[in-house]
Structure 1
Amino acid sequence: MKKHLLSLGDFTREELRALIDRALILKAEAKQGIRHQQLAGRKICLLFEKPSTRTRVSFEAGMYGLGGQVIFMSAKESQLGRGEPLKDTARVLARYVDAIVVRTFGQDVVEELAKYSDVPVINALTDLHHPCQVLSDMMTVLEKKGTLDTTKVAWIGDGNNMANSWIEAASVFGFPLSLACPEGFAPNQEILEKATAKSPRAISLTQSPSEAIKGVDVVNVDVWASMGQESEQEKRLGLFQKYQLNAALMAEADKEAIFMHCLPAHRGEEVTEEILEGPQSVIFDQAENKMHIHAAILEHFILGAKK
């Protein structure tokens, strides 16, 4: 497997499935009260330029659950905010810790850190990709649906980093994916074209939510304006209104379909309260699974890097 986790498209189906399967084992063992120490004495640095609740806490809980230690640094607490070259930051931090977990804006940041780091660099979110989140989402789909290969997945809303990572996941695992995005808010064109050419099943893009959601097994939405796009919030509220997931739209999915949202949710905007709190919602199982997938990622990449 690769040394770093920067995007899902860098990996094979077998490699990603191994991470998910390991996370399922760690989750089951946690429920049984089994405690682990395989990362005792190991340290990670969470280098976050973007704020976080779930990603930060789930990475910290995952690392502590394996016996390791965590150093958290926000942009204002590091030299990144003062213009230190990334290659210097990477080489220094690699002398101190066993992995660097990065939550930032540009994909170029994690790529440059990975280029110069002697320890694994894990992408905890960029504007282009959100690989760890989608791994935990696929773990949730596997738990709820029993399979990934033929499960029909829909993405409704902004063609953001989550959409890009779902596209890559679909191409790697081969499950059908339909996306409905407003004009001008499509996913990254290069990622979409590459994934479509590679995938054995259809990855389709439309501007019709009804077309994308029809008969699917999994429905995904996200906020209409991500971090860094707050100035566009009012404009997007108007453009995205028909993309709201409500009872009428959800009814067009399979009757056993599950609803997913990576959170935080803007209740009453991209999704109604009725759907969020309804029986098809698995958002809190999804949130919990972040901790288990992050533990599996840290275990694999840290221990693998020392071989």
Structure 2
Amino acid sequence: MLDVWCPEAPVNRVCVSEKENRSVSATTVTTAARLRPISGAEPTEPRPLGHSAYHRVSARLRPIIGAEPTEPRPLGHSAYHRVSARLRPISGAEPAEPRPLATAPTGASRRGSAPLDDVRRRTCAALRRQDSATDPRGQLSVSATGRGAGSCGRSGGLHVLLWGGVPCVAPGAVNLKGRHFLTLRDFSAEEIKHVLRVSADLKKRIKHEGQFLPLLQGKSAAMIFEKRSTRTRMSTETGVSLLGGHACFLTPQDIHLGVNESTGDTARVLSGFADAVLARVHSHSTLEELASGASVPVINGLSDRYHPVQILADLLTLQEHYGSLEGLTLTWIGDGTNILHSLMMSLAKMGMNLRVATPKGYEADSGVLQEARRLSQQFGTALVLTSDPMEAAQGANVLVTDTWVSMGQEKEKAQRLRDFQGYQVTMQTGSVAAPDWVFLHCLPRKPEEVSDELFYSSRSLVFPESENRKWTIMGLMVSLLTDYSPQTPQLKI
């Protein structure tokens, strides 16, 4: 398969089946369902690219490549050169003549293909020279599907493809396939935005347009829950099912994680059964052990240190409400929990300011706070720390709180309720916020954390936020398990 990325097109990827060791002129279009929405064709047997399917696809691509084919022709014709000219400033490649996709010699292994290895080395070297401008994290990816496929590092906001054997780069194209999702600290701004775009795209196509998208058909997800949950379990089970996959729920009583079998061995076993592992655990170290042993993506459904899937839902909710995230100010009032930690690892990357009010002794982890300060400086956003809720709420667009007594802290409840007096979020708290302020809570909530008046008011987005747990876990699963690219225009995030 040859992936052609067209960043400016409504449909930004077309996949064409290519026969082994043949030039592109021998290409035929197969009865692939992926082409059907583009071409409108329903072929009963493989047929030449020059058939009606070819012309329908060409019509969609014509505004991009400027080609007006009158008959089937190989990629080496003017269409090739026009596309090549568009990509040349990015890839630095100057092909002397059209050439087929780099393939491995007969009998050669994919990883040992000398021509492809040379292409990867030259491409990566060229891109690293300009990574400060296009890929500040220095993470590059060279990939192609089909014979001779290979990769060079993991994608970090830059995706490199091979067009006719020539390295081509599509700026902003992100591929997260195969990655673990333990903390937002590991993901760049563009990678987080990509997951949000995929989530919004799926929500639009499935919920609002009624489309059926079996993107996870034939795939399964193992769900390990050391802690009970409503939203995490339901969002994962319904989301995976809606995409044609299957989720299997496992409790500590089912698998005795780390007791009768080591966590690493459990991860290796589950990797043979499932395509992804989502774990909701007591200790973040358990997730790290799972990720170390697993050969499939491991997703943090919650740990004592981070709760990244909740933040994805929060960001999508705010994006839907305000139309953009950049420049918003979010105020956190309450305990220095795992959710605050995840906000600290992500908001600055989105161009958002963070103001935090916590009682003395309940501040965020010092290591997380140090990284939050670094990110704030890097992205030019504000980070304010105080113990006064009203000071923190000044000018805020978003007020957020969380439980005062987390699972496992029940013995501390009486002391915590005393220490958090004055930290309830109310309409009065919002009186000093921005005129368009809204309220978020990950749920479940207690009346002492937020007043009923505010919780059930039009200022509260808690129930859309809760629903978006499903769409963002779907977007995350699709991003980690497939090569799906959003089919609707990119969100302004």
State TM-score, norm by structure 1: 0.96
Q: What is the CA–CA distance in structure 1 between the aligned matches of 2:432 and 2:212, rounded to whole Å?
A: 43
Cross-structure match for 1:253: 433
Tell me which of 236, 239, 242 is aligned to 1:59. Answer: 236
* Consecutive aligned runs of 4 or more in structure 1 exceeding 3 Å deviation: none
Q: What is the CA–CA distance in structure 2 between the aligned matches of 1:209 and 1:99, rounded to whole Å?
A: 40
Deviation at 1:303, TM superposition (A): 1.9
Q: Does 1:28 align with 2:208?
A: no
Q: What is the CA–CA distance in structure 2 between the aligned matches of 1:202 and 1:256, rounded to whole Å?
A: 19
Task: Output the amino acid matched with 2:299.
Answer: I
Task: Output the amino acid matched with 1:4.
Answer: H
CA, structure 1 residues 163+83, in 2 after alignment: closer, same or farther (shift >3 Å)? farther
Deviation at 1:161, TM superposition (A): 0.2
**Is there any run of 5+ residues in structure 1 with no aligned partner, and where?**
none
Deviation at 1:135, TM superposition (A): 0.8
Task: Output the amino acid matched with 2:401.
Answer: V
Task: Please tell me whether the aligned partners of residues 24 and 139 of structure 1 are also in contact (alpha carbons under 8 angstroms).
Answer: yes
Tell me which of 162, 165, 170 is aligned to 2:339. Answer: 162
1:181-260 superposed matches below 5 A: 181-199=358-376, 200-260=380-440
After superposition, the C-alpha distances for 1:113-169 in whole angstroms (9 at most, x for unaligned) are: 101100000001001000010011001111111111210101100000000001111
1:46-85 superposed matches below 5 A: 46-80=223-257, 82-85=259-262
Q: Does 1:7 align with 2:183?
A: yes
The alignment partner of 2:182 has SS state of coil
**Is there any run of 5+ residues in structure 2 with no aligned partner, and where?**
1-154, 156-175, 485-493
Tell me which of 457, 470, 485 is aligned to 1:291. Answer: 470
What root-mean-square deviation, in Å, do the aligned CA atoms of Structure 1 and Structure 2 show? 1.3
The alignment partner of 1:154 has SS state of strand
After superposition, the C-alpha distances for 1:258-303 in whole angstroms (9 at most, x for unaligned) are: 100010011x211010010011001000000000000011111112
Q: Does 1:151 align with 2:328?
A: yes
Deviation at 1:82, TM superposition (A): 3.0
The alignment partner of 1:243 has SS state of coil
Cross-structure match for 2:309: 132
Bigger helix fraction: 1
Deviation at 1:81, TM superposition (A): 6.3
The alignment partner of 1:215 has SS state of coil
Q: What is the CA–CA distance in structure 2 between the aligned matches of 1:202 and 1:246, rounded to whole Å?
A: 24
Aligned residues: 304
Task: Output the amino acid matched with 1:195.
Answer: A
CA, structure 1 residues 83+205, in 2 after alignment: closer, same or farther (shift >3 Å)? farther
Task: Please tell me whether the aligned partners of residues 75 and 81 of structure 1 are also in contact (alpha carbons under 8 angstroms).
Answer: no
Task: Please tell me whether the aligned partners of residues 154 and 218 of structure 1 are also in contact (alpha carbons under 8 angstroms).
Answer: yes
Cross-structure match for 1:274: 453
Identity %: 36
Q: Does 1:120 align with 2:317?
A: no
The alignment partner of 1:190 has SS state of helix
Higher relative contact order (CA closer than 8 Å, sequence separation 6+): 1
Cross-structure match for 2:281: 104
Moved more, 295-304 or 61-70: 295-304
Task: Please tell me whether the aligned partners of residues 20 and 135 of structure 1 are also in contact (alpha carbons under 8 angstroms).
Answer: yes
After superposition, the C-alpha distances for 1:199-250 in whole angstroms (9 at most, x for unaligned) are: 2211221101011111100110111011111111111111101110012112
CA, structure 1 residues 95+259, in 2 after alignment: closer, same or farther (shift >3 Å)? same
Cross-structure match for 1:87: 264
Task: Please tell me whether the aligned partners of residues 154 and 213 of structure 1 are also in contact (alpha carbons under 8 angstroms).
Answer: yes
Task: Please tell me whether the aligned partners of residues 171 and 196 of structure 1 are also in contact (alpha carbons under 8 angstroms).
Answer: no
State TM-score, norm by structure 2: 0.60
